[in-house]
Amino acid sequence: YKLYEVFAPGSDEALEDIVKLAKDLGIDVYPVIESWATAQNVTLFDQLSQGIRFIDLRACNNGTSGWRTHHMIMGNPIHDLLEQVRSYLELPDVHGEVVTLHVSHFYG
């Protein structure tokens, strides 16, 4: 295949679930950001299962909790998300699939 023949569905801010994280931390953010803070409402593994092949993620290391996604506040651990990608790619019926990870906004 030539690059222009490849179709790769993407997912913007695929790894951000700010509302869930804030809830886990006991922060009441719903009145302010409920309508716009959650970019995706399914796991990365589920997004891959549904056809997403381009992952946009922002990385941050604050020195205490390791590398995590971020978008205004700290999100999921990068290691956990990479494990979801590995688990998906190891499925028997996924042989030959390509997943592209675009990592940017390195902070920390």
Beta-bridge mates of residue 77: 68
- Indicate if the pLDDT at residue 105 is higher than 50: yes
> What is the reported pLDDT for 24?
78
Q: For the whole model, what pTM was predicted?
A: 0.66
Tokens of 80: 């956990």
Nearest to 107 by CA among 54, 44, 56, 63: 63
Query: What sign results for the dihedral spanned by CA atoms 42, 77, 23, 12?
Result: negative
Instruction: Give tens-digit pLDDT for 49-92.
Output: 998 888 888 888 878 888 888 765 667 888 999 999 999 999 99
Instruction: Give tens-digit pLDDT for 8-38.
Output: 666 655 445 656 666 777 877 656 555 555 5
> What is the reported pLDDT for 36?
56
Q: Give the list of residues 6+ apart from residue 9 with CB closer than 8 angstroms, or none.
A: 51, 52, 53, 54
